[in-house]
Amino acid sequence: MRILLTGAAGFLGSHLTDKLINEGHHVIGMDNFITGNEENLGHLAGNGKFSFIRHDVSNFILVTGKIDYVLHFASPASPNPASPLGYPNLPIQTLKAGALGTHNSLGVARAHNAKFLLASTSEIYGDPQEHPQKETYRGNVDPIGARSVYDEAKRFAEALTMAYHRFHQIDTRIVRIFNTFGPRMRLDDGRVVPNFIQQALRKEPLTIYGDGSQTRSFCYVSDLIDGIYKLMMSDYHEPVNLGNPNEISVIEFADLVNKTVDNTSGKIKKTAERLGNDPQRRQPDISRAKSILNWEPKISIQAGLEKTIPYFKKKMGI
């Protein structure tokens, strides 16, 4: 297939690009590098199965030649206001990527009679009162809170995707992505995995917001990409959760990072501050993915960290 992938220079987009090319497809990557990293695609220079367009998806998208599939992954993603790349610091761009970017990407799919896949997020569930979260859960949401620019953009994107499916008969998919980690995460991303690994490598105490009892479910990137590809090749139109159902508290994760890196300080520094509307629990119910896609993650958090830490060492010059 000839595939348009928006957000191709991002953490997930670049890994998905590699997967698609390895499966024999031609990828047209699209990114404006507002949060994407050109280095993530550098190894594809001269590859006949890859071409690139520098473009902001919030503007009209024109792609010549036949397109068989459109994958919309373009969006800032970090909730940490301490990061310059966090969506609280790019609020308008985040909303435009979710709203206008989804509209323009769906327009390409409609014009080419192509299939469409939306990268959505577990954040659409808000601070969930149901645990673990099933796709049928409607969420506990805050449309005007600190995280709302990302959450509401993705909720609108899902609604628009289903509207195009129902009204224009576009063949669509929606993946709700839970916490994912691995090589190519930006050092200044601001999320917990890059923060903890860098602090541990510098032999510093790991900073935790709040008391550390909040939980996350970390999925290694190759597992997630395999699930996305299976969803692509399926004929299922409702949202599908992809993530690791093995829940871990942030403080337990900090201890694991310290142990894996052999951080001799082994210390954890708690702050009284809790990031605005930070969800207290996050764990996917992946029953739908198991049933429809025959998918579940295979790589443990420990094994994933061991695959990720060398990348951070190299980027940090250690």
14 pLDDT exceeds 80? Answer: yes
Predicted local distance difference test score (pLDDT) of residue 265: 76
Beta-strand ranges (E) seen in 146-217 are 172-177, 180-181, 206-209, 215-216
- Secondary structure class of 275 (helix, strand, coil): coil
Q: 169-194 pLDDT, tens per residue?
A: 999 999 999 999 999 999 988 889 99
280 pLDDT exceeds 90? Answer: no
Comparing C-alpha atoms, which of 120, 220, 216 is closest to residue 176?
120
Predicted local distance difference test score (pLDDT) of residue 26: 98
SS3 content of the chain, % helix, strand, coil (to 5): 40, 20, 40
Domain boundaries, the chain: 2-184+221-245+283-298
DSSP-derived letter for residue 34 is S
Predicted local distance difference test score (pLDDT) of residue 274: 58
Percent of the chain with pLDDT over 90: 82
Q: Are strands 219-220 and 268-271 parallel, antiparallel or unpaired?
A: unpaired
Q: CA 78, 79, 83, 86: dihedral to nearest 10 degrees?
A: 60
Q: Are strands 248-249 and 215-216 parallel, antiparallel or unpaired?
A: antiparallel
Q: 86-120 pLDDT, tens per residue?
A: 888 899 999 999 999 999 999 999 999 999 999 99
Give me the amino acid identity at 54. Answer: R
How would residue 273 be classed by pLDDT, with cut points 50, 70 and 90?
low
Burial of 37 (0-12, 13-18, 19+ CB in 10 A): middle
Predicted local distance difference test score (pLDDT) of residue 112: 98
Catalytic residues: 150
Predicted local distance difference test score (pLDDT) of residue 151: 95
* Model confidence, pTM: 0.94
Mean pLDDT is lowest, of 19-28, 47-56, 206-215, for 206-215
DSSP-derived letter for residue 26 is E
pLDDT average, residue stretch 164-169: 98
277 pLDDT exceeds 70? Answer: no
145 pLDDT exceeds 70? Answer: yes
Predicted local distance difference test score (pLDDT) of residue 282: 84
List C-alpha distances in Å: 31 to 19, 54, 56.
18, 5, 7
pLDDT average, residue stretch 12-25: 98
Q: 190-232 pLDDT, tens per residue?
A: 889 999 999 999 999 998 888 888 888 999 999 999 999 999 9
From CA 60, how far away is CA 193, in angstroms rounded? 35
pLDDT average, residue stretch 48-54: 98
What does the block give as tokens for 216? 């996350």
List C-alpha distances in Å: 306 to 18, 179, 210, 212.
21, 17, 27, 23
Q: 61-89 pLDDT, tens per residue?
A: 999 999 999 999 999 987 777 677 788 88
The hierarchical CATH code for the domain 2-184+221-245+283-298 is 3.40.50.720
Comparing C-alpha atoms, which of 292, 300, 297, 177 is closest to residue 241?
177
285 pLDDT exceeds 80? Answer: yes
| Residues whose CB is less than 8 angstroms from the CB of residue 203 and which lie 6 or more positions away in sequence, other chains included | 263, 264, 265
Predicted local distance difference test score (pLDDT) of residue 272: 57
List C-alpha distances in Å: 242 to 2, 190, 224, 250.
24, 22, 7, 20
276 pLDDT exceeds 60? Answer: no
How would residue 270 be classed by pLDDT, with cut points 50, 70 and 90?
confident
